[in-house]
Amino acid sequence: MPQAKNSSLPPLTDPLCDTAVAFYRAEGYRPEDSVGYLMRRVLSAVAHEVERQLEPSDLTSAQWLPLLKLHMGQGGTVAELARGCQLDAGAMTRLLDRLEAKGLCRRVRSVADRRVVNIELTEEGRVAAIGIPVVLSRVQNACLAGFSAGEFETLKGFLRRMLANASGKPPTPTQTLPGGPYEA
């Protein structure tokens, strides 16, 4: 089907598909066969099950991640947690307000720099955070039922390679895939 010359629509063919291995083509594209679609469905199913299993602890899917990051020492300020959770600082502040209202964390002004407000877990927050990896492990292991250890490692290698391709960063040479290490 030819395209009009001065159309604002993108071309019907993708020049990249002519030079690289083309797993997808615009003609006959089916979203349900897309790796991205399948990954999104897996992520959605995992998130739903994690939230369902964390329901007794009154933690939402948005709330457990900053608690876990605080517990693992991967953030101690609003800005650090926002970066680690891929949220803007305003959204993280509102989320921390809710966690603080639940008694799971508290804000503590830094003695070294009064402009800095550190976030720390309360004792109740530590107890809640300790249970999060238990749920995450249980849910992810259930999703990997029937995989061999080798298939699990191969899957992680493939996903790391896709992530590197998507981010424009070459994967590390130590990433092992079937047939040996992946060469960047």
Buried b (16+ CB within 10 A) or exposed e, 9-38: eeeeeeeeeeeeeeeeeeeeeeeeeeeeee
Q: Which of 141, 136, 145, 144 is nearest to 53 (CA)?
A: 136
Look at residue 27 and tell me if it is in a domain.
yes
Look at residue 158 and tell me if it is in a domain.
no
What range defines the domain where residue 60 resides? 19-145
Q: Are 87 and 97 in contact (CB under 8 A)?
A: no
Query: In terms of DSSP bridges, do strands 117-121 and 105-109 run parallel, antiparallel, or are they unpaired?
Result: antiparallel
Q: How many domains does the chain have?
A: 1
Q: Are 99 and 105 in contact (CB under 8 A)?
A: yes
Look at residue 166 and tell me if it is in a domain.
no
pLDDT in tens, the chain (184 residues): 455 555 565 555 555 555 567 889 899 999 899 999 999 999 999 999 999 999 999 999 899 999 999 999 998 999 999 999 999 999 999 999 999 999 999 999 989 988 888 999 999 999 999 999 999 999 999 999 999 999 999 999 999 999 999 988 876 665 444 544 443 3
